Structures are given as C-alpha cells and as structure tokens.
Amino acid sequence: RLRPLNRLQVILQHLNMSTHADSTAEVLLEKKGCAGMITLNRPKALNAINISMIRQIYPQIKTWEQDPETFLIIIKGTGGKAFSAGGDIRAITDAGKVGDRLAQDFFREEYTLNNAIGTCKKPYVALIDGITMGGGVGVSIHGHFRVATEKTLFAMPETAIGKYCLFPDVGGGYFLPRLSGRIGYYLALTGCRLKGRDVLKAGIATHFVDSEKIPALEKDLVALKSPSTENIADLLNSYHAKSKADQDKPFVLDEHMEKINSLFSGNSMEEIVKKLKQDGSAFANKQLETIKRMSPTSLKLALRQLREGASMSLQEVLMMEYRLSQACMKGHDFYEGVRAVLIDKDQAPRWKPATLEEVSDEFVDDCFKPLGNNDLKL
C-alpha cells in the first residue's frame, strides 16, 4: 500500500495549486483544460524518478481517473534533454547497503505506479521527447499512447555496464517479449539504444511527432472538448502524418533482424553466447563483446524474466519483477555495478560470479521464489 500523502500535499492538490505554489517541485501536477498534466521536473537529474515523485503521481492518477471532468492524462519532462533517464539509483543503493526500507518501498511503489498506468481507465499520453530509459520507460510504455520525437533516445540499460546491474524491470518482462521477433530480447540483453523514429519502428512508441511541434500538440490535446480515446488518437494521428523527419530511413535493426531473431532465440544465455560465437559475423562479435562486459547474474535473470513474462499478465510480471528486485538488493553485483559506474567511475566492475557457467540454475530459481507476506500485491 502506498503511504497517504501528508495533509499539506492533499490540500495543495485539492486546490489545484501545486504548480503555482512551487515551480521548483520535483513533479508538477495540474489540470489544464480537459487533461490532467504530470510534468517531471528534475532537469538537472534528467528527470530521474525518486520515491517522493512516485508518492505524488500515484494518488493524482487515481484521483483523475475518478474525475468526470478529466478526459485524459499527459506526462512529460522538463529541461529539453530528457523525458526521464531512469530511477534514482543512488538513493536505492545507499538504502540497500544499510538495509533501509527504501530498497523495498521504492520498487514496491514504483511497480504499483506502473500498474496504475497500465490499467488506467483514462487515455494516458506520454510525450517521450528526449532520453527515456529504465524508470522513465515504466511511466510511459504502459499507457495508451507514446509520442516519440527525433530527440527520443530509448534504452533498457539495466543489465549493461553503462548503468548498473539489475534486469529490465518496470514491466520490461511484459512489453519486451511482445515486440516483434526477438527485438525485445536483444534490447534487454545488450542495452542497445534506439533513437528517434526507430523507437516507433520497434513498436515502443505509438506515434512520431517533430520535437518542435510538441508544444502545439499539447495545446491541441488540452483544448479538446470531452474527447474520447478515438478523438485523442485522431489528433495524434494527424500530427504523426505531418511529420517527415527520417521518414524514408529504414529501421536501424532491419538489416540485422534475421540474425537477431536466430541468435537471440536460445533457451539459455550459454546457448545465445554459443550461437554468437559460431556466427562469427561483425554484428555477432559486437554483441558478444557487449555481453561479455555485463553481469552474468543479470543476464541470466533477464533472459528468464522475458521468457516467463511472455505469457504473463502485466500484474504477474510486476510481481515477478518485485521478487527479482529484492534478490538483486541482497546480491553483490548491483552494488558493484553502481560502484564501477557512478561512484569510482572506473567502468571496471568485478562481477561475482564472474562467468555465466558459475551462475547456477538453483541460484536463479531462488531469485524467482515467492516472498510470502512480502510479495507485491496489486
């Protein structure tokens, strides 16, 4: 359960003054025309999502969902660089090291918010203009509409050295295996980044609009009169149709799709690595180099997460991912990845275990086991 908001927040929300009261707030929540507007407002931190933001956004979505005067919900980021580059990993790391509750609460409440977006009864429009990674994907991907621009940079870098050692969470186990072919497995296991129109072509965004047109689109959305989902889709489609940027460029993964579908179809990480080695092409060798740098534990957890998630509901996936998050918090590699990337910045993590072969099936099974009373309840 999410903690109730303190009285001041409730009063501010009730009076709809949160934006005007404090433009330095980490998240701005306001009603504009027919829409509820969520603005992620930590530009210096690339709008990374922390627990206090989650605790403000979740009840507001629930309130707007019940409000007959709110017809859609829009979420966007400030600062021009990022929609949201992820979750507040530094805080979670510090908490996990000392056994603080934040390491449980953050994931529990973040996934509860992801589910609220995925089950939201009102059309939910995410303007993913800029960097959209990790936790930023969680507050956009599960909504009805995701609008990418030429500035969009999408990745699930959780297994990668470039971020930290975890797994592609926030419902990654749900949406990634549902992308065409093995694209989702490839993105999850390599941390590959997609830019601009490729985010649409991969099936992650629903629409593509030129970045400079986003303010006009937002204005037109909030000006709609009692719109239905169809009305909102029509407006997004009209902006999408007018956008010509990179229209004729082929999908960046097109030339590799045959290889991605065959090489990333292995039943185990060892099998995928074997296929990559046997293939021997420049593309396969590049993926092999990338995978070699990653946490073997993360890779094994992520592959199983996606294989199981492919046939689960979003709720079942988030419950599974919560179990995995708590296993990672108890392990070595999460903290080692953060040390190597964020603290010492030597980019040289020493993973334990150091090889895929040393990560036993029993260990992986344990990470997926129910947590009893501590399981995520949705």
Which residues are known catalytic residues? 87, 135, 158, 169
Distance between CA atoms of 73 and 122, rounded to whole angstroms? 7
Distance between CA atoms of 159 and 214, rounded to whole angstroms? 32
* Residues β-bridged to residue 133: 155
CB 305 within 8 A of CB 172: yes
Distance between CA atoms of 177 and 78, rounded to whole angstroms? 30
* Residues β-bridged to residue 30: 37
First CA to last CA distance, the chain: 9
SS (H, E, C) 289-321: HHHHCCCHHHHHHHHHHHHHHCCCCHHHHHHHH
Among residues 11, 9, 15, the alpha carbon closest in space to that of 27 is found at 9
Distance between CA atoms of 238 and 261, rounded to whole angstroms? 33
Q: What is the CA radius of gyration of the chain?
A: 20
